[in-house]
Structure 1
């Protein structure tokens, strides 16, 4: 059996949310958000793509941190979720090849 190493898993670290009360950028701007995403590399909390400012995507693009986890209350966390459509500069998180 061939071992598969997803390059994105190397970016995942144990993190604490830096701003558990909400989106870091929106809190500074006084702007609303829809859902929150936690960066699993640094702990940055940003708003989702349905939010006006899309801070989670901006953080992923600026800092090359494509792995996020939802912080929606009542939603089961799903570690390893890749930010949708990351810029080409980010590692591509691909499923393992089929056996």
Structure 2
């Protein structure tokens, strides 16, 4: 794994949605996979989804790291460093 200078921004957060991508639900859209922001708990859709809400959230808030919330997946991604952490 790559060294990431943003690990200090990971918080002990809970998902803000257990129903899916809250942004997609609000506009009646669909998603492919879900990611959770590790700074605030926002659950949003991945870059394979039509609206790419997780990336949009990271860009709008500056929150750098997400984790997959897909069953059986245990990884984190830093948008700033473009690396698994």
Match of 2:35 in 1: 37
Distance in 1 (CA, whole Å) between partners of 2:4 and 2:24 is: 32
Distance in 2 (CA, whole Å) between partners of 1:48 and 1:76 is: 14
Superposition CA RMSD, Å:
2.0
Match of 2:46 in 1: 48
Q: Which has the larger radius of gyration?
A: 1
Alignment of 1:2-13 (within 5 A): 6-13=4-11
Match of 1:62 in 2: 60
C-alpha contact (below 8 Å) 1:6/1:93 kept by paired residues: no
Structure with the larger strand share:
2
Structure 1 gap segments, 5+ residues each = 87-91, 95-99
- Report the TM-score when normalising by structure 1: 0.73
The number of residues matched between the two structures is 82
- Report the TM-score when normalising by structure 2: 0.85
Structure 2 gap segments, 5+ residues each = none
